[in-house]
Structure 1
Amino acid sequence: MQEKHLEKMRDGKGFIAALDQSGGSTPKALAAYGVSEDEYSTEEEMFDLVHEMRTRIITAPAFDSEYILGAILFEQTMDRKIEEKYTGDYLAEEKGVVPFLKVDKGLAELSNGVQKMKPIDDLDEKLERANQRGMFGTKMRSVIKEANQDGIKEVVDQQFEIGKKIIDAGLVPIIEPEVNIHSSDKEKSEEILKQEIKKHLDQLNDNELVMLKLSIPTKENLYKELIDHPQVIRVVALSGGYSRDEANAKLKKNDGLIASFSRALSENLNVNQTEDEFNAALREAVQSIYNASVNKNS
């Protein structure tokens, strides 16, 4: 199965759906979907509601492997079921979509212009369960807010240190050092980030493969060298707070870069929509993001 997933991720046409909001971002995701905080009183109820939302997205006809290569899941989503199958199995077997697991525990405090990841003290156990649940890979996010050379190096060093452990567990890490789209020196941060990532890629062995999830760069095709690197399966882009139209327009200008959108995927979905309305809104989102990922200007 892993070889089949690898082939799809490397050669397939489409994008990755990010369905991995967790903890503090879950109320925002639910609110955007039309579920206010007064509609649940416990964390358990909140996660039940967000699983209902994700199930509705994943089971919709528009959520199809013709357009979607993979999906990133929150840990609770991985451990829950859709139509009597664990979510990863449902994605792989019923939808032909490659499952990934978000493994980080959120962001540490700002230091040197960046937010590294909090310690992942249960990483080994999490990776073991990810294998049991049929995950192909993992995702972990840091944030860069300033063009601070030391801070960016620390972020990338941490990402690759944990990434090597993920590789050793037989999984593919999606390394995500997000550059904040509102940063005043975003372009400079991206130049530094590219060089730091390349240093680590060049040190990987032939059998050590990674994916990268990066903010859409200010300078078009900045990451082409990373996209073409032999140790990189795929480079995907986060929407980072851009609207879907903005994110799609910027994405189209970068050859080989595909989407891994979260908010931009679900921005027009609402709990009160009929099934026909919901499916139409999701279909429009999926097809527009697919087109931006696949149909480039060159």
Structure 2
Amino acid sequence: MSIEQLAETAQAMVAPGKGIIAIDESNATIKKRFDGVGIECTEENRRAYRELLLTTPRLGEHISGAILFDETLRQSTRDGVPFTKVMTDNGIIPGIKVDKGTHALAGFPGEVVTEGLDGLRARLEEYYKLGARFAKWRAVINIGETIPSGSCIDANAHALARYAALCQEQGLVPMVEPEVIMDGGHDIDECYQVTEVTLRSLFASLYEQNVMLEGTILKASMVLPGTTSGEKASVEEVAAATLQCLKSTVPATLPGIVFLSGGQSDQDATAHLDAMNRMGPNPWPLSFSYGRAMQSAALKLWSQDLVGNVGKAQETVFARARDNGLAALGQWKA
């Protein structure tokens, strides 16, 4: 695929007022979510839940793409329509999570590196044939007394860059996600410093691996105080710090940035995104790629009646998509 085609897909992913819904939980992760609301984690229940999300009426008005798990990319609706067809018929671009999760980084206690590069070329080729047009890889950066180390940051940045190059070779837009974890006692200034160093390392690695930024999307974490820091930053403080960090590290040639919610409340994730867009104009579109912040209310409703509450659950999915779509324009009202 040419860079023009990759760039076209990337631009569509961050179209005005639209964002990405992340429904790429592994079976182990979605089991935890299901356990929390008393749903048995069977293949059929997973399929039915993803169908509920993807068939939400008018979802394409505010959702440009969806990140799927391997199992979901291969599934169909109860009536036998492949999920990828449901998505493309509604203007939603299919995406796929391709990393194999985090593992301990040898020699660096408390730090992790994401694995999954082995055999990735063949998997990406198959995913493209199955209908995926973008992919996602998540790296995890923890903050502690003596971490993160430069070695951990660079190892994860290098893996993200190699993954991105392989994606573009196979015609998929890479979404690169270097998540600076919210857990910890760090203040907002330390989060800023770690995020800045992480992004500088990432874009240096992308350049070294000949990744075309015009066909790449950044999935970024916001600059926030740690959950156990006792510090509460205002919406404006978070928005300003995040924007300043991005402007100092992210090239303007990037088609767009989408944010992860990263453990924030639904309301906070939307408010922070809205504030950043109100502070614009910015060098790139700023949108969302939320998982729990898009789904949590729907999952609770659905768990109470797996058949009777589908419509009610879909109404909450659409409402969250609409609110975040407005926030991506700086037009959301609490």
For this structure pair, what is the TM-score category when the shorter chain's length is used for normalisation?
A: 0.7 to 0.9
Q: Is the 8 A contact 1:102 1:139 kept in 2?
A: yes
Q: CA RMSD in A?
A: 2.4
Structure 2 residues not aligned, in runs of 5+: 225-240, 278-284
1:207–1:290 distance in 2 versus 1, CA, 3 Å: closer
1:5 alignment partner AA? T
State the distance in 1 between where 2:213 and 2:288 align: 25
Do the aligned partners of residues 122 and 198 (structure 1) sit closer, same or farther apart at CA in structure 2, a change above 3 Å counting? Answer: closer
Shift in alpha-carbon separation, 1:247–1:206, aligned structure 2, 3 A:
closer
Residue 127 in 1 paired to residue 124 in 2? yes
Spell out the pairing of 1:139-150 with structure 2 (5 A cutoff). Answer: 139-146=136-143, 147-150=148-151
Per the alignment, in what secondary structure is the counterpart of residue 139 of structure 1? strand
CA-CA distance at 1:277 after TM superposition? 2.1
Paired residue type of 1:211:
I
1:98 matched to 2:93: yes
Tell me the distance in 1 between the aligned counterparts of 2:289 and 2:316.
18
2:246 — aligned with what? Answer: 223
Distance in 1 (CA, whole Å) between partners of 2:250 and 2:46 is: 33
SS across alignment from 2:25: coil
- Aligned equivalents of 1:220, 1:59: Cα separation in 2: 33
3-state SS in 1 of match to 2:125:
helix
| 1:237 matched to 2:262 | no
Contact 2:160 2:176 in 1 (8 A): yes
Instruction: Give the direction of change, closer, same or farther, for the CA distance of 1:252–1:208 in structure 2 (3 Å limit).
Output: closer
Write the letter of the residue equivalent to 1:135.
Answer: A
Call closer, same or farther: CA 1:220–1:208 in 2, change over 3 Å. closer
Q: Find the aligned partners of 1:11 and 1:280 in 2 and give their Cα distance.
A: 22
| 8 Å Cα contact 2:94/2:132 also seen in 1 | yes
Q: Tell me the CA shift for residue 25 of structure 1.
A: 0.6
Q: CA deviation at 1:210?
A: 1.3
SS state of the match for residue 104, structure 1? coil
Q: Which runs of 5+ in 1 are unaligned?
A: 41-45
**Judging changes above 3 Å, is the alpha-carbon distance between structure 1 residues 281 and 119 closer, same or farther for their aligned structure 2 residues?**
closer
Q: Corresponding residue for 2:81? A: 85
Inter-CA distance 112–12: structure 2 relative to 1 (3 Å threshold): farther
Structure 1 residue 285, shift from structure 2 partner: 1.4
Please give the alpha-carbon distance, in whole angstroms, between the structure 2 residues aligned to 1:12 and 1:292: 10
Once the two structures are TM-superposed, the CA of residue 48 in structure 1 deviates from its matched residue by: 2.2
Task: Determine the C-alpha separation between the residues in 2 that align with 1:131 and 1:246.
Answer: 35
Question: Equivalent residue of 2:114, what SS?
Answer: coil
TM-score of the aligned structures, taking structure 1 as reference length:
0.86
Question: 8 Å contact 2:178–2:219 — kept in the other structure?
Answer: yes
SS, match of residue 85 in structure 1: coil
Q: Which moves more between the two structures, 198-207 or 171-180? A: 198-207
| Corresponding residue to 1:283 among 309, 318, 332 | 318
Shift of 1:133: 1.2
For 1:28-59, what per-residue CA distance to the aligned partner results, in whole angstroms no more than 9, with x for missing partners? 23235x343xx35xxxxx23211110101111
Q: CA deviation at 1:117?
A: 1.0
Aligned length: 286
The aligned amino acid for 2:126 is R
- How many Å separate the matches in 1 of 2:101 and 2:211? 29
CA contact (8 A) 2:135 2:172 kept: yes
| Moved beyond 6 Å, runs of 4+ | none
Q: Deviations over 1:152-178 (max 9, x none)?
A: 111111110121111111111111111
Matching residue's letter, 2:102: L
Q: Do residues 189 (structure 1) and 197 (structure 2) align?
A: no
